[in-house]
């Protein structure tokens, strides 16, 4: 898969599939389609690939601030992860944060975003200049999905890129954003009412660099899903990705919702005493606030993807809002969406 590029303002011939979102679901779908010769374009509004596989650098410190780790429950994802292990992209972190349960929690060796970069750069094609290799365009925000007589058209934020045409579309954006793209393009969908009911947690992350280790218990993280303040706290140095002490705090969804509209200084003032409780005597050298409006679904859509339309071509919604949330769920959703395009129902294939 080609490396992410700056926006391309030229218009090209229709692609077989346009994928909105360069997170793990979108990248997995793109790779699956490319290896069988489909032309694929991936667009993402972010500066790079990854979505919630997000890693931030503050000075020399490295902090994961979206997904912190992942587990493996299915053989097909284990096969994928075995490749990441062999390539040195991931490694086991621990087998539980308060007590072991036999399931490894994997981390990326250089931060979780490295997983997305690896998937984006490694496709088993014969040649790196194969014209069917997926193209990835970052810093390009899709504004509307428009149905035409023969192709779908995706329009972008003014000046970002000329509209693209595609035979099929997979949108891996959070479901509310995908539905907004349909509304903007006056595209009807029989699934819209059903998908409208999917709600997402909002989560605020606080990223702090320190002058010394905070001394969190082994393995350098605290997971407490029912805590009213922090549901996950990770020492990125103890985790093995940061050369300097740096801690990520994920606020609970309920507290995140309460503080969502506050300015960053007000958020930090509200958290001051709780932060000190976990940082011990360590001095904060830098502190930042990051907001995840669509951190994860409250209740995912039960299937791995949803068929939003089949005319003028197949339009699918996929991502971590479908099937199982988390990293494995995103991978499986992207895989299933690509399989749906490659092997459509007979009636649809004839049409």
The pLDDT tens digits for 57-98 are 999 999 999 999 999 999 999 999 999 999 999 999 999 998
> For 13, which DSSP code?
P
CA distance 311 to 298: 30
What is the predicted pLDDT for the residue at 320?
Answer: 93
By the 8 A CB rule, do 201 and 291 touch? no
Q: What is the CA radius of gyration of the chain?
A: 21
Percent of the chain with pLDDT over 70: 92
- pLDDT tens per residue, range 223-267: 999 999 999 999 999 999 999 999 999 999 999 999 999 999 999
| pLDDT classification of 131: cutoffs 50, 70, 90 | low
Mean pLDDT of 194-212: 96
pLDDT of residue 351: 41
Task: State residue 287's pLDDT score.
Answer: 98
Residue extent(s) of CATH 3.50.50.60 domains in the chain: 15-52+116-198+299-350
Give the model's pLDDT for residue 307: 97
Q: Which residue ranges does the chain devote to CATH 3.90.660.10?
A: 200-298
DSSP codes of every residue in 128-186: TT-TTSPEEEES--EEEEEE-SSSEEEEESTTT---EEEEEEEE-S-HHHHHHHHHHTT
Q: Span 184-202, mean pLDDT?
A: 93
Q: Dump pLDDT digits (tens) for 297-318.
A: 999 999 999 999 999 999 999 9
Those residues with Cβ within 8 angstroms of residue 79's Cβ, 6 or more apart along the chain or in another chain? none
Q: What dotted CATH number matches 200-298?
A: 3.90.660.10
Output the CA torsion sign for 164, 169, 174, 177.
positive
Give the Cα separation of 261 and 267 in Å (integer). Answer: 9
From the centroid of its chain, how far is CA 60? Answer: 24
- Three-class SS state of 28: helix
The mean of the pLDDT values for the chain is 92
Q: What is the pTM of this model?
A: 0.93
- pLDDT of the residue at 222: 97
CATH number for the domain running over 15-52+116-198+299-350: 3.50.50.60
């Amino acid at each position: 898969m080609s490396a992410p590029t700056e926006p391309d303002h030229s218009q090209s011939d229709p692609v077989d599939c346009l994928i909105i979102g360069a997170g793990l679901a979108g990248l997995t779908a793109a790779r699956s389609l490319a290896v069988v010769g489909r032309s694929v374009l991936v667009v993402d509004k972010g500066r790079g690939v990854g979505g919630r596989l997000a890693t931030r650098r503050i000075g020399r410190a490295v902090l994961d601030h979206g997904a912190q780790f992942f587990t493996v429950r299915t053989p097909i994802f284990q096969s994928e992860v075995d490749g990441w292990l062999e390539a040195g992209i991931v490694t086991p972190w621990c087998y539980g944060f308060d007590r072991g349960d036999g399931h490894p929690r994997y981390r990326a060796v250089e931060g979780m975003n490295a997983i997305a970069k690896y998937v984006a750069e490694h496709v088993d094609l014969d040649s790196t200049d194969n014209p069917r290799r997926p193209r990835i365009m970052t810093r390009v925000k899709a504004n509307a999905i428009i149905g035409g007589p023969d192709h779908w058209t995706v329009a972008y934020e003014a000046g970002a890129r000329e509209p693209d045409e595609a035979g099929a579309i997979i949108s891996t954006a959070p479901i509310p954003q995908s539905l907004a793209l349909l509304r903007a393009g006056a595209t009807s969908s029989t699934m819209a009412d059903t998908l409208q009911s999917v709600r997402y947690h909002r989560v605020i992350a606080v990223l702090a660099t320190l002058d010394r280790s905070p001394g969190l218990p082994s393995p350098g993280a605290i997971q407490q899903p029912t805590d009213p303040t922090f549901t996950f706290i990770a020492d990125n140095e103890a985790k093995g990705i940061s050369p300097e002490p740096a801690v990520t705090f994920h606020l609970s969804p309920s507290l995140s919702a309460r503080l969502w509209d506050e300015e960053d200084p007000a958020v930090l003032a509200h958290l001051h005493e709780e932060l000190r409780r976990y940082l011990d005597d360590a001095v904060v050298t830098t502190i930042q606030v990051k907001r995840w409006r669509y951190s994860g679904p409250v209740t995912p859509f039960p299937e791995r993807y949803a068929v939003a339309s089949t005319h003028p071509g197949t339009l699918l919604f996929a991502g971590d809002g479908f099937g199982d949330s988390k990293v494995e769920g995103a991978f499986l959703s992207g895989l299933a969406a690509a399989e749906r395009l490659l092997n459509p129902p007979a009636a649809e294939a004839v049409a």
